Amino acid sequence: MGLREYLFFLGRDTCLCSMGQRIHFVVDPQGWCCMGLIILAWLYNTVFIPKVILFPHYEEGNISVVAVLCYYFCSLFCIGSLLRASVADPGKLPENPKIPITEREYWELCNKCNMMRPKRSHHCSRCGHCVRRMDHHCPWINNCVGEDNHWLFLQLCFYTQILSSYTLILDFCHYYYFLPLKKENWDVFVFRHELAVLRISAFMGLIILGGISRLFYTQLMGIFTC
């Protein structure tokens, strides 16, 4: 079986069961690329910020170990929430849903997949199925945001804001608040190109923080005004 036949057999998405929890996996190369960019940005800051700022200032007594541990905890929470939101079932409707008699008036026929669905459900053209209380399809997590994973998406937005803010604060404090570092390791590549490394980090932090903050605000407003 070739790759094309395998993907056709697999379908647009796959749902597995792990310890009673549905795992949702979307086969979408564009989504994989978008999610890969997010992981690369996370990996860049998780590697270079401790190496350039946290560890050197900790060794010279400018910051405490709490600052280092907090950064790693924020980083782990961020990547953990990203992975959970990307593989969680958003609320995909089964092929033959059992409709209670008392709720039939609240169901309608989807004209795209010809399946019955409850009202406020929407059809995702990228995933190829209907999702209960679908909010939108997010390419950055390669998944829909629906009834069952909306709280995970909000959690991801919250942790991403914390990590981006923390990164920007460290970038600022490194130049304008912390004591200058001793030039013991400045023959290392990252220290010889420290300015470029931190400018890239600050640029990514500003872009991600601005986009996520706006998205988080609109999500909360949508919940409170529903």
Please report the pLDDT score of residue 184 as a whole number: 58
Listed in order, strand segments (DSSP E) in 83-193 are 107-109, 116-118, 122-124, 129-131, 136-138, 143-145
SS3 175: helix
Average pLDDT over residues 75-82: 94
Please report the pLDDT score of residue 226 as a whole number: 59
Higher pLDDT, 3 or 144: 144
Is 116 within 8 Å of 106 (Cβ atoms)? no
| The pair of three-digit structure tokens given for residue 168, joined into one six-digit string | 């920007």
The answer to which of 89-103, 104-118, 146-160, 183-197 has the lowest mean pLDDT is 183-197
Task: Give the catalytic positions in this structure.
Answer: 138
Please report the pLDDT score of residue 81 as a whole number: 93
Please report the pLDDT score of residue 48 as a whole number: 87
Give the model confidence (pLDDT) of 31-69 as tens digits: 889 889 999 999 999 988 888 888 888 887 888 899 999
This prediction has a pTM of: 0.80
Is 38 within 8 Å of 82 (Cβ atoms)? yes
**What is the C-alpha separation between 95 and 130, in angstroms, rounded?**
10
Q: How far apart are the first and last CA of the chain?
A: 48
**What is the C-alpha separation between 42 and 35, in angstroms, rounded?**
11
Provide the percentage of residues in the chain whose pLDDT is more than 90.
23
**What is the C-alpha separation between 178 and 162, in angstroms, rounded?**
21
Provide the percentage of residues in the chain whose pLDDT is more than 70.
80
Is 169 within 8 Å of 138 (Cβ atoms)? no
Higher pLDDT, 215 or 186: 215
Q: Is 128 left (phi over 0), alpha (psi -120 to 50) or beta?
A: left
